[in-house]
Copies of this chain bind each other. A is one copy, B any other.
Amino acid sequence: MKPADPPKPASGPTRARAATLTDVARLAGVSVATASKALNGRSQVRAETRVRVQEAAERLAFRPNPLARSLLAGRTGTVGLLTSDLEGRFSIPILMGAEDAFGAGRAAVFLCDARGDSIREQHHVQALLERRVDGLIVVGSRTDPRPSLGRGLPVPVVYAYAPSSDTDEDLSIVPDSVGAGRMAVGHLLACGRSRIAHITGDVNYLAARERAEGAARAMGEAGLHLLEEPLYGNWSEGWGRAAATMLLDRHPDLDALLCGSDQIARGALDILRERGRTVPDEVAVMGFDNWHAVTDGARPSLTSVDHNLQEIGRVAAQALFQAIDGRMRRGVELQPGRVVIRASTVALG
């Protein structure tokens, strides 16, 4: 069969429309169904036909619609992104990273915010399943384990930031908080500090306890100890001011304050300034979270550990795609953070 002429470009000032599967089928002289099977690598098509269809697709610069491709594979090309806390500043970068990975033409994202309410979450899960999503990402607002959505769901689920409590069955992508604490102390030690105290947030947060554990371990490995046990409180500037005041009274010779969040660190910086202690010459200060609204306005600008949250979102999205393709990983995977060095630990330039 002689291939037909390719479709003529549209006339007039508008650009030629993109070639469709119908155009490819016409040019290759086959049915649309056959062209589809050939391009999707199904085995029911003769090799000779497949080559002819592929040549036609190339000649027309045919780009298969990702949605159409998903539908051919029995999928909807949609995924659900279930967050417990849209307002929370940790959820957003994770959503962005996931949306980034999905947005590359691979899937459209249904967004649902459960507002920390498990009834609402169940409602959203049901609504998403009724819409036949191909998979779900569940984004938490803190790193403490959360209940699994269960083993009975018809689609794969990946947990991000807050791990599932069912670690045998579910896959969770979470920040490495012990590693973050270790990394922070490593930076302070590298800056020549040794009389280090740790002020941190609410002891009910696993992230607070794990960062403290990592910090203590890194001190131990250097043959040192923190000046005293970590001071747990809450995540506010006010607590940072109060705790820094106490520590300066008890340990006038301290040379570094490691703070469990940027806001705590901001409070500590204000007290050091008011007491005339220079930062970083006399006392180095660092925080966690790398929250620019706080780190950049501080005097001096604040060194902080960034948890690479967008990367957590991207990795979770990629793991979900793999799971949809039948390759489900399980367990808890830790994503490392990084120290962003600013003027509160090192006299820069």
Contacts and interface: CB of A to CB of B under 8 A. Distances in A.
A156 interface: no
A67 interface: yes
13 contacts: A65-B130, A67-B130, A86-B95, A86-B99, A87-B92, A105-B127, A108-B128, A108-B131, A109-B110, A110-B111, A237-B297, A263-B293, A263-B297
A16 B113 CA distance: 28
Contacts of A67: 127, 130-131
B96 A92 contact: no
Range for the number of chain A residues in contact with chain B? 35 or more
Interface string A98-126: 01100101001111110000000000100
Contacts of A112: 99, 103, 108-109
B87 A93 contact: yes
A236 interface: yes
A171 interface: no
A95 B115 CA distance: 13
Given A67-B130, A130-B67, A86 B92 contact: yes
Contacts of A297: 236-238, 263, 266-267
A145 to B, nearest CB: 25
